Amino acid sequence: MTDLTQLYRQDYSEWARRNRELLRAGRFAELDIEHLLEELSDMGKSERDELESRLLILLAHLLKWQYQYRSLADRWREFDGRSWRVTIVEQRKRLAVRLRKSPGLKSVLDDAIATAYPDACDLASKETGLPMDTFPPACPYRKEQIMDDDYYPD
């Protein structure tokens, strides 16, 4: 076991600092390659997980807006969907920031939408009490609509 491997288990910050120094110095043979690869892989997975999590919440709220908003607004005059709108605005903003900070995620956005959509339907169904078959089997929104600050489904 190398000193860096042991350091990885004991002091992550110091491990990262030392690997940075080795990279800057061009001392590639001394790097803790195994853990560096693991960390890079985890970073990408973590960013993708965040993207899908935000999409899940956003898509669920778009579905609730489309399939339940009118019936609630008709029954309760005071229901104006404000909390749903706040959530939609916030998730769109957080998604835009994430995509700006990690532009490589744009290449997986379509796949992330397809992955998050079934869980969004499940969440919307549980939160509204509407049956799952209320919602289309595939995401009815284009990514441009999902990210459009002015788009709210009818």
More confident: 40 or 54: 54
Residue 1 pLDDT > 90: no
Residue 30, in any domain of the structure: no
DSSP class of residue 134? G
Residue 69, in any domain of the structure: yes
> What is the domain range of residue 72?
46-147
Question: According to the model, what pLDDT value does residue 85 have?
Answer: 85
Q: What is the largest CA-CA distance in the chain?
A: 69
Q: How confident is the model at residue 108 (pLDDT cuts 50, 70, 90)?
A: very high
Report how far residue 3's alpha carbon sits from residue 31's, in angstroms, rounded to the nearest whole number: 10
Residue 29, in any domain of the structure: no
Residue 131 pLDDT > 70: yes
Q: Which of 9, 4, 6 is nearest to 20 (CA)?
A: 4
Report how far residue 148's alpha carbon sits from residue 103's, in angstroms, rounded to the nearest whole number: 17
Residue 129, in any domain of the structure: yes
Residue 82, in any domain of the structure: yes
Tally of structural domains, the chain:
1
Residue 154, in any domain of the structure: no
Residue 58, in any domain of the structure: yes
Average pLDDT in the 114-118 region?
A: 98
pLDDT tens digits, residue range 51-81?
A: 999 999 999 999 998 988 666 555 555 555 6
Residue 36, in any domain of the structure: no
Question: According to the model, what pLDDT value does residue 46 have?
Answer: 87
